[in-house]
Amino acid sequence: MEKIDFVLIWVDDNDPTWQESLRKYSQLESGDSRPVRFRDWGTLRYWFRGVEKFAPWVNNIYFITCGHYPDWININHPKLKFIKHSDYIPKKYLPTFNSRTIELNLHRIESLSERFVYFNDDTFLINHISPKRFFVNDKVRDIAVLSARQPKGDLRDYLMANNIGFVNRFFDKKDVIKKNKWGWFNPRYGKLLLRTIALYPYPAFTGIYNPHLPNPFFKTTLKKVWDLDYSTLDKTCSCKFRNFQNVNQYVFRYYQLAVGRFMSINPWKTSATYSYMNDDILMEAIDVISNQKKSLICVNDGDLSNFEYSKSILCEAFNKILPDKCSFELSKL
């Protein structure tokens, strides 16, 4: 089996040095510096426990931060590669508080394997999962469904519009789909297939459906996209904070879909996503975690009436299924 690495980015919003740097640069540059972008849910240890228990086949874990790490982590674990932003991100982009910059430059990590899965710190393994969920032969497992999204003031809407603009600059929609009809019109997608049928007549891509889940990538994909559109990626990475002009990792995902380097999958068979969290959604997510109804889950931060309480009950749910320390945790803590 080909080696598959996991990549996880993380920030400690309680680090005084990081806080001071954030204050300094937020006064110099506009962008999204809201606390919700950085606050820590205290769930990191469950990410590592989940990987060790449910994906023991992983090759290495690349744990990426600006330089800090929790005091409980076993930084000398043979599978753990602790990477600082300054280890691989070009100096001209640093310091950065923009997750786009952190993810767009991952190919610059020399030791990272050709096949890797990129995790945000709000995505977790909660049940056993096979490497074939992410890669089969020389292709990633992904879902190719058309979508439509209009910017209405939300930062994510503009981000997706920018991402799809990239695709339309370099690919002809009808040609892409014609070359891989089964990939785009696959019955595995269920009702989601209706989106593609409805939007297919439009001459250009109006959008591509995005499950908020860990994404499998080929390292060479990132290099090819940088070669294809250096200007756009460089412009994003030059922003210290997220803004309306950015693109993100989805340009890599869209590239893999456009060139047909994927095998169709319905991610919802194994995964659940709870985005833009509120109190009701949180309880649904806790039920999925506690009863291990899926293998993957995304629990995205959002609008909660009591963050500390929400944090405590979420951690309780994770601890129910992952109560024991793993080898990525120091035994004395």
Q: All domains of the chain, ordered by start, with CATH?
A: 4-321 (3.90.550)
Which residues fall within 8 angstroms of residue 130, CB to CB, at 6 or more apart?
Answer: none
**152-161: per-residue pLDDT in tens?**
767 777 888 8
Higher pLDDT, 151 or 313: 313
Instruction: Name the residue type at position 256.
Output: Q
How far apart are alpha carbons 23 and 33 in whole angstroms?
9
**249-265: per-residue pLDDT in tens?**
999 999 999 999 999 99
Task: Give me the pLDDT at residue 302, please.
Answer: 65
Higher pLDDT, 174 or 279: 174
Structure tokens given for 59: 């090759």
Task: Give me the pLDDT at residue 307, please.
Answer: 75
Mean confidence (pLDDT) of the chain: 92
**70-125: per-residue pLDDT in tens?**
999 999 999 999 999 999 999 999 999 999 999 999 999 999 999 999 999 899 99
Task: Give me the pLDDT at residue 311, please.
Answer: 85
Task: Give me the pLDDT at residue 266, please.
Answer: 97
Give first-to-last CA distance, the chain, whole Å.
35
Instruction: Name the residue type at position 286.
Output: I
Query: Does residue 35 carry a pLDDT above 80?
Result: no
Average pLDDT over residues 169-184: 97
How far apart are alpha carbons 154 and 29 in whole angstroms?
19
Kind plus residue range of the DSSP H or E element containing 27: helix 16-28
Average pLDDT over residues 214-236: 97
Q: Are 95 and 65 in contact (CB under 8 A)?
A: no
How far apart are alpha carbons 159 and 153 in whole angstroms?
11
Task: Give me the pLDDT at residue 105, please.
Answer: 98
Percent of the chain with pLDDT over 90: 76
pTM of the model as a whole: 0.94
